[in-house]
Amino acid sequence: MANDFKRALVPGRGPLSRVPAPAVFLLVLTLFGVGVWVRGPVGAALLGVLVLAVAGLLAATWRLLTPSARVLRVLVLCVLVLVTASTL
């Protein structure tokens, strides 16, 4: 179980391979929570940063994903965009 905390976010030798998954989870949770709580332009900007990060990660890993994983991640991205739009 301790090895799960050291598992790479993305396999390989790129910059994301050195990022611990729990740190990314906490960052995403914090950005989302603060963005929804603050609302308005500041909240939308925080959620917008999250949307761009998720879209970038999706684009970087697209060819490695199965079709069902692609559908799920695009759906999550769409929901995040809708939440971002609703904070304005």
Q: Which domain holds residue 26?
A: 2-86
pLDDT tens figures, 61-77: 899 899 999 999 999 99
Mean pLDDT of the region 46-69:
93
pLDDT in tens, 10-44: 566 777 777 788 988 999 999 999 999 999 999 99
Phi and psi, residue 8, nearest 5°: -70, 150
CA distance 39 to 86: 9
The answer on pLDDT for 7 being more than 60 is no
Query: At what angle are helices 40-61 and 67-86 packed, to 10 degrees?
Result: 170
What φ, ψ does residue 65 adopt, rounded to 5°?
A: -90, 150
Model's pTM, two decimal places?
A: 0.78
The pLDDT score that the predictor gives to residue 39 is 94
C-alpha 51/C-alpha 74 separation (Å) is: 11
CA 40/CA 85 separation, integer angstroms: 10
- Number of independent structural domains in the chain: 1
